[in-house]
Amino acid sequence: MNTIEKTVINTSLSEKINALRKERNAVILAHYYQEPAIQDIADYVGDSLELARWAATTNADVIVFAGVLFMAETAKILNPTKTVLLPDMKAGCSLSDSCPPTEFRAFLDAHPNHIVISYINCSIEIKAMSDIICTSSNAEQIINSIPKEQPIIFAPDKNLGAYLADKTGRDLVLWEGACMVHEAFSIDKLLDLHKEFPNADIIAHPESEAHVLKTASFIGSTAAMIRYVNDSPNDQFIVATEAGILHRMKQDVLHKTLIPAPSVADNTCACSECGYMKMNTMQKLYLCLKNNKPEIILDEEMRKRALIPMLRCLDYKPKP
């Protein structure tokens, strides 16, 4: 399908989605990694923490979550009386999958007396086993709020965990999980690219590996990266996170040059795109509103257990 055909189809789908959204009193929440047409039609586009906050406070009857499964589950944990729809139920997350509940239970049992802080990119089972959930926007503040003598387990992202251990000076016990998109950046290609654009700021999401983070002049959540590009006097940036962010990032800074950081296999695939995030399409968004499915249904006992650490997450304010 060429670009013109795609635009015509998306325009007609947009009209249908808008009519259904009104009829069903639905709100569409989209993550920055969603395809541009979905970001454009969404009521709110944000990072994980912003989306969780909107999901917790919306008056809509239906929440359509244009993101991945752990995000839609989080919306349902926070708002159990709403219908929460995920356009494609197979939209999972490699990081969440890297922390299976049975193994994690054994890991916790092997580390008694530790507080368990889990990154929001995990399943409801992992959330239910955690004391506090964090996102990349508030993880540092949450760790800093824990008394120094209290040992901490941080899960499931070892890269974010190592970054936070370094930032806070805490000796965190890390679960060895990772995101396949943020681990696919090539440090050699990144350094070559920086030689071509020596004045560009490298900015990176903290799910990236330590050697990538070491090159970055700014590290932050997706929302923080967008703010940084807006506020910086610089006009060239190499952006090390999922490439979907560039759509929103460039809207306020059309005059600035934004270059996606190269992945190891960029010649053969779009590795800096998250295949899970990209499973959602305008067609699936329309169909889920029309058919009222796929719907997130949670075990109520599990939901109640996961709610406690999730509410602690929302108590912490993101960095200004």
Footprint of ligand 13P (CB under 6 A):
47-48, 121, 135-136, 179, 205, 207, 221-222
| Interface segment toward ligand SF4; rule CB under 6 A; list 2-10, 22-30, 145-153, 174-182 | 174-182
Is 53 or 256 the residue whose CB approaches ligand 13P more closely? 53
Is 49 or 129 the residue whose CB approaches ligand 13P more closely? 49
State how far the Cα of 260 lies from the Cα of 238, in Å rounded to an integer. 6
| Footprint on residues 90-119 left by ligand SF4 (CB under 6 A) | 93-95
DSSP notation for 22-69 = HHTTEEEEEETTS-HHHHHH-SEEE-HHHHHHHHHH---SEEEEES-H
Residue 279: exposure state from Cβ atoms within 10 A (0-12, 13-18, ≥19) = middle
| Interface segment toward ligand SF4; rule CB under 6 A; list 1-9, 13-21, 87-95, 105-113 | 87-95
274 is an interface residue for ligand SF4 by CB under 6 A = yes
b or e along 27-56 (b: 16 or more beta carbons within 10 Å of the residue's beta carbon)? bbbbbbbbbebbbbbbeebbbbbbbbbbbe
* Rama region for 149: left / alpha / beta (φ>0; ψ in -120 to 50; rest): alpha
Other CB atoms closer than 10 Å to residue 75's CB: what's the count? 26
Terminal-residue alpha carbon distance, the chain:
43
| Footprint on residues 223-242 left by ligand SF4 (CB under 6 A) | 242
Is 21 or 158 the residue whose CB approaches ligand SF4 more closely? 158
Query: Among ligand SF4, ligand 13P, none, what does residue 135 contact (CB within 5–8 Å per kind)?
Result: ligand 13P
| Footprint on residues 177-196 left by ligand SF4 (CB under 6 A) | 179-181
139 is an interface residue for ligand SF4 by CB under 6 A = no
Shortest Å, Cβ 95 to ligand SF4: 4
Residues in contact with ligand SF4 by CB under 6 A are 68, 93-95, 121, 179-181, 242, 274, 276-277
